[in-house]
Amino acid sequence: MNWTTITNTVASLAPALGQALAGPAGHVVGQAIASTLGVNNSPDAVETALKTDPKAAVKLAELETELKRATLEATTRQEENQLEAQTAQQQAINTTMQAELQNGNTYKSGWRSAIGWTMAFSFGWISLILGISVFQDPSQIANVVDAIVMLTVSMGAVLGINIRHMSSERLASLGFRPTSLMDSLMTRSRGSH
């Protein structure tokens, strides 16, 4: 059965049904239309009913309304499921963060602080090496400075990211929802619509 042969006829009375009839699930929509009109499950029977039954337009409008309602419900359920999954993920992350913060084991909970201490000792070491290198061979100062800049930027980026996450985790453990500038802007833009 090729339901697309009556797509235009159905669409003239119920545009959403006509569009759905032309889609991948057209045969299911065609069956629903035939059932609603009380005719055999065939495009010819539906087309005949549409031309002869004076209540066909009303029946299609009711079916179209039901289709829209079902589509809206399915979309709403899908969004609810996504929100539930995101909430469950956030709860799991929060539980993990709280367990890490309450852990007395420095090896597990102190790794971010260790990066900060490593950077601090590295700055001292870098300063010492810089002084020795410049004192022994002043012509190598450009190479030494390049290496120092690269190391400093790399370690600073890692430290900055870790400090940001550590602050966010501490705020989350206190019940606050930490936000970034972008989060604030997105919240305000959603609220203005």
- The average confidence (pLDDT) of the chain is 79
What whole-number distance in Å separates Cα of residue 178 and Cα of residue 168?
A: 6
- 12 three-state secondary structure: helix
What whole-number distance in Å separates Cα of residue 103 and Cα of residue 88?
A: 22
Q: Which residue has the tokens 């059965």?
A: 1
pLDDT digits (tens, 9 = 90+) for 122-160: 878 877 887 787 788 888 778 878 877 887 787 778 777
Q: Where is pLDDT greater, at 186 or 23? A: 23
175: left (phi over 0), alpha (psi -120 to 50) or beta: left
Q: Using a pLDDT cut of 70, give the percent of the chain over it.
A: 76
Q: In the numeric block, which tokens belong to residue 191? A: 């609220």
Instruction: Please work out, in degrees rounded to the nearest 5, the angle formed at the alpha carbon of residue 143 by the alpha carbons of 139 and 149.
Output: 135
Q: What pLDDT does residue 192 have?
A: 52
pLDDT digits (tens, 9 = 90+) for 10-29: 888 888 888 888 888 888 88
Cβ-Cβ contacts under 8 Å for 1 (sequence gap 6 or more): 27, 30, 41, 42, 43
